[in-house]
Structure 1
């Protein structure tokens, strides 16, 4: 396999190497997975399961994302799709709460026109972010935007090493009232023990944390955030992924930042809907 070993991919590089991270499923494979998931045990779909698991593991380890085209038939009821996906995800880790209410799943949709506003780049507070498209936006917007932490790191290192040094210092993210740790203190960009570049960024949270009792941001920190945001929104950085109904996307939060392009939705049954699940890996890959 022409593996990508923690390179800093640009949008063009990711598009050119789609075979490394995107796998389309056929109708027979989809039906086999669906039947086993409904039964709650593995049987005829075991070979498909193994192929899928290997591909997801390799893609997430190398590129930081996995896209599975046509994982489920979107014509099925949302409740049943959620149950099937939850069963399939047991191979990749443990589903964890994604908000203060303890919800294990949620469906993202336009609320009071907020789809018209672009969702800025950020990282969720889990190992793997899982998104399954139930219905795309009718106007073609609402693309999931992806950016490689390694590529962002290397660009800032070349152009503004002073800003990178600041981004590699500890920052405070006050997440009071949300799922998981209430206060996260971490660098925004950092080197992980396996040699990869890691990231943790929530643009609104880091800016509002001083209002919740966190340390005030210095002029140097404000400037570094500006540099980071400017780099993230360069056209060659962000890859916009269109997802069809039934497509699955898995993102490793410590390696890839994500956001969403704006969209204009149509109310009712044709509105954009995206099923979101948070997964923590533990020792799952070792099994």
Structure 2
């Protein structure tokens, strides 16, 4: 079965390089005191409805003053760079419940929250739980270990930094169209492989009677934009199941090329989260990783991020296979 392929390099705005983005800086969007006040007022309005937080609607969480900026952020995610970083929310002045409610409410204006795992978690808590990063099925966001470049199971991935690590824990992102362009220039023979199905391990998140892997191509092309879904270690771990299709030599080369290229400083962009930062990424256009970190010894100071997985149907980026809560997170 043939799959549509781009007829040349990807030239859309999401085909950026990290050094260029670091110099340009337009993706960093400061929040004004008036805007943070509006977010807090919207929270109070939503609480006054008496509804549980997960039942709030956009109308329950009104943000008329931020509406134009939110529309701009969505346009940037969908048709621009594919990422934004909001900075300046005063997290130190509020408790965790308030911050989660504010973040949830803002998320209502960016998409629809979906479950991040089979437990049905709609807001994820990113912190070190002491889990063994080498154990099968342990999602690395629950550890301090490095997570290599990957995508998650939603259209928009959101992280809200409540507390940062003592050192490390850098958010590193890279353009998947830029990786495609590098492969096209250096290993064009591998391009068709990206559009063929790869087996992804479910990490034990499948239901009884279902097979422990699912098939999905790394790349899809709709004639306009490139869409990427990539978790290399899930692909490799699928090989532990005897019934899973074996990876071909070309598939293994393609995985290695993507990993090596993503980790090239000429392509990636680093963000050191500050408390109050909110990062939003378009899953189909941006791979992300987290470097290893050292945490504070005091429990109350330890690194803590909130996570949202959002579906925005206008993006047409995620499909049902990506929305099963099997992607790794941060």
* Residue in structure 2 matching 1:10, options 17, 30, 39: 17
Structure 1 position 50 matched with structure 2 position 56: no
Equivalent-residue separation in structure 2 for 1:138 and 1:75 (angstroms)? 20
**Larger displacement relative to structure 2 (173-182 or 64-73):** 173-182
Give structure 1 regions of 4+ aligned residues with deviation exceeding 6 angstroms. Answer: 179-182
C-alpha RMSD of matched pairs (Å) = 2.4
Structure 1 position 134 matched with structure 2 position 162: yes
Match of 1:60 in 2: 77
TM-score where L is the length of structure 2: 0.77
Q: Give the CA deviation at 1:116.
A: 4.8
- 8 Å CA contact 1:56–1:66 kept in 2: the answer is yes
- 8 Å CA contact 1:129–1:253 kept in 2: the answer is yes
Equivalent-residue separation in structure 1 for 2:166 and 2:203 (angstroms)? 35
Match of 1:105 in 2: 123
Structure 1 position 155 matched with structure 2 position 182: yes
Q: Give the CA deviation at 1:248.
A: 0.5
**Structure 2: gaps (5+ residues):** 1-10, 47-59, 134-142, 317-330
User: Matched residue pairs, number?
Assistant: 277
Matches within 5 A, 1:1-287: 5-19=12-26, 21-40=27-46, 41=60, 45-47=63-65, 49-61=66-78, 62-112=80-130, 116-139=144-167, 141-175=168-202, 177-178=204-205, 183-193=213-223, 195-212=224-241, 213-267=243-297, 268-283=299-314
TM-score where L is the length of structure 1: 0.88
Q: Give the CA deviation at 1:103.
A: 0.8
Q: Give the CA deviation at 1:179.
A: 8.2
Q: Give the CA deviation at 1:88.
A: 1.6
- 8 Å CA contact 2:87–2:278 kept in 1: the answer is yes
Task: Classify the secondary structure of the residue corresponding to 1:46.
Answer: coil
**Larger displacement relative to structure 2 (247-256 or 24-33):** 24-33
**Larger displacement relative to structure 2 (229-238 or 159-168):** 159-168
Q: Give the CA deviation at 1:74.
A: 3.6
Equivalent-residue separation in structure 2 for 1:154 and 1:254 (angstroms)? 15
**Larger displacement relative to structure 2 (183-192 or 272-281):** 183-192
- 8 Å CA contact 1:102–1:179 kept in 2: the answer is no
Equivalent-residue separation in structure 1 for 2:206 and 2:152 (angstroms)? 10
Equivalent-residue separation in structure 1 for 2:149 and 2:201 (angstroms)? 17
Q: Give the CA deviation at 1:129.
A: 0.8
Q: Give the CA deviation at 1:105.
A: 1.1
Equivalent-residue separation in structure 2 for 1:162 and 1:101 (angstroms)? 41
Equivalent-residue separation in structure 2 for 1:72 and 1:132 (angstroms)? 12
Q: For 1:114-158, what per-residue CA distance to the aligned partner results, in whole angstroms no more than 9, with x for missing partners?
A: 65532111110111111000111122x101110101100000110
